[in-house]
Amino acid sequence: MTCPSALVYDGARSRVDRKGTFRVAAALALRDRQRPYRTSALSEEAVATAWQEGLFGGELQASSGERLQIVYRGWRSDDAGPDFRDSIIALEDGRLLSGDVEVHVRASDWRRHGHGRDRRYDGVVLHVVMWDDEGGRPTLRSDGASAPVLALHPLLTVSLSALVGRASRQLTPTEPCGQVIERLGQTYVAGCLDKAGHLRLAGKAAAFEAAIASRGVEAALYEGLIEALGYAKNREPFRQLAQLLPLASLEGYLQGRGQTEAIRRAEALLLGVAGLLPGQRRRAPPGDYAVSDLAALEAEWTRLDGSHWMAEGQWNFCRTRPENYPTRRIGGAARLVVRALAPKGQPGLVSFLLGSLDQPTAAAARRAIVNALQVAGEARPVLPGRTLDCPAGPRSTSLIGRGRAMALAINVVLPFAVAYGNLTSQSSLADRARWAYFAFPRLPSDAVVRQMCRRLFGASASSLVDSALRQQALHHIFKELCRPRRCHDCQLSAQSS
């Protein structure tokens, strides 16, 4: 379809003629239907607002002619990748499409932004645009599949100017759990959050009990730590790395080595299996790595006869803070493993980390675990950026800083300690882990916490979310209730307490 004619001007050019008189060379002209897709002031944020708030109506029909019905519009993501996650779209043949929704002003923006070559967009099941300038063709993903295109402009229930105005200001949440404190009261909401936080810990501990039973104590903790170092963007490749290079194999390579050699060997092995050594990558800026002597890592990998590794394309560097690059987190993992295993005769990761819980107070145990998990890096100057998306090198030399160490403690070590204490009938260990968990202060925010705060409390996060326990509660509610759309089971969706 074409954009409607409107009082949108292409602009005017003026010049001074030879006699010095001012003459308008081109008058302000209306843009007409023959030139439909010129530059527009409409932003993607306005299109996202129209989709999020459901500011459209009538029969929904994809540009290909297929009728659609929206079951769930999804939740707004502020991370790299598609704009909305976990959307559910019903097709006229009865099939349900579950996945992501990407929004653009024009359908051609998909190609212009390179999404068709980006694996992160392979979960897109609907491409929502204001205008379809691609002639009704479906949107092609990098995996060869396609997604239907839905043009919103003919379906809008508000004017474009009103839509732009709505997008420019924060509005009251439209979810059934919105304005939760006003509806249910602060005391009731706080109780719900504390209960959900306890359930989150119990669920994680149960998962670790199953992992210990199937893979062993040391391996379960190692895999949990490695996976958690990947954050959301690289969690899956880090999980695969831990499976391809198990702790038992890594220990075998490190036996009898001094600390310096053990660190170099562990880092070379982890980076080599990950496919992230400089020689395995198309482009590898030095600032991506934990060490400056990259030649030594390459030589170590060659001596170990490494021949099988993951593909570089499995890892995500785009829109990732340089200090969080997987190459640097792998360097931190290598040093953490060596610290626990090699130089001083510790029996393993479990004894090294859980021994930190043997403190007189919960606060002291929390501090000890965080200190044990932190890993410093080389003191090097900040290097130039590697891409436009990442304009600066690592600002911190830490390979595992305090914030990430806190996240590892609350998501991995403490739930593991509860599980291990339960399985070995060490109730005092499980109790100390629970006390430390409840004593943890608020962690650095993440995408889920930000999304849930907006959903429940509005534009500004509530002061109720003042601890790691309540942040974990938001993760639990999101995973167990929001994503599967179980609003009817959620206590925060009730109309009154």
Q: Are residues 128 and 49 in the same domain?
A: yes
Distance from C-alpha of 412 to C-alpha of 167, rounded to nearest angstrom: 39
**What is the CA angle 366-372-378, rounded to 5?**
135
Say what the pLDDT of residue 129 is: 96
Q: Are residues 373 and 236 in the same domain?
A: yes
Q: Check: CB of residue 94 under 8 Å from CB of residue 130.
A: no
Residue that terminates a domain, selected from 134, 167, 200: 167
Q: Are residues 205 and 93 in the same domain?
A: no
Q: Check: CB of residue 403 under 8 Å from CB of residue 395.
A: no
Q: Are residues 32 and 181 in the same domain?
A: no
Total of domains in the chain:
4
Q: Which two tokens stand for residue 125?
A: 């099941």
Residue that terminates a domain, selected from 367, 399, 431: 399
Q: Are residues 314 and 393 in the same domain?
A: yes
**What is the CA angle 174-180-182, rounded to 5?**
110
Burial label, 135 (beta-carbon count in 10 A; 0-12, 13-18, 19+): exposed
Distance from C-alpha of 341 to C-alpha of 248, rounded to nearest angstrom: 11
pLDDT, one tens digit for every residue, the chain (497 residues):
333 333 232 333 233 333 333 332 222 223 333 334 444 568 898 999 999 889 999 889 998 888 999 988 988 887 778 999 889 999 888 888 899 999 999 999 999 999 998 888 999 999 999 999 988 888 999 889 999 999 999 999 998 888 888 877 655 456 788 888 888 899 999 999 999 999 999 999 999 999 999 999 999 999 999 999 998 789 999 999 999 999 999 988 888 888 889 999 999 999 999 999 988 888 777 677 877 788 888 888 888 766 678 988 888 887 677 888 899 999 999 999 999 875 454 568 999 999 989 999 999 999 999 999 999 876 444 444 433 334 344 455 789 999 999 999 999 999 999 999 999 999 999 999 999 999 899 998 888 898 888 888 875 556 889 999 999 999 999 999 888 878 888 898 876 65
Domain interval for residue 9: 1-39
Say what the pLDDT of residue 294 is: 85
Q: Are residues 177 and 162 in the same domain?
A: no
Q: Are residues 392 and 426 in the same domain?
A: no
Q: Are residues 495 and 452 in the same domain?
A: yes
Q: Are residues 161 and 194 in the same domain?
A: no
Say what the pLDDT of residue 174 is: 63
Q: Are residues 113 and 188 in the same domain?
A: no
Say what the pLDDT of residue 319 is: 66
Burial label, 427 (beta-carbon count in 10 A; 0-12, 13-18, 19+): exposed
Burial label, 37 (beta-carbon count in 10 A; 0-12, 13-18, 19+): middle
Q: Check: CB of residue 129 under 8 Å from CB of residue 43.
A: no
Burial label, 397 (beta-carbon count in 10 A; 0-12, 13-18, 19+): middle
Q: Are residues 238 and 319 in the same domain?
A: yes
Q: Are residues 255 and 370 in the same domain?
A: yes
Residue that terminates a domain, selected from 371, 399, 427: 399
Say what the pLDDT of residue 378 is: 64
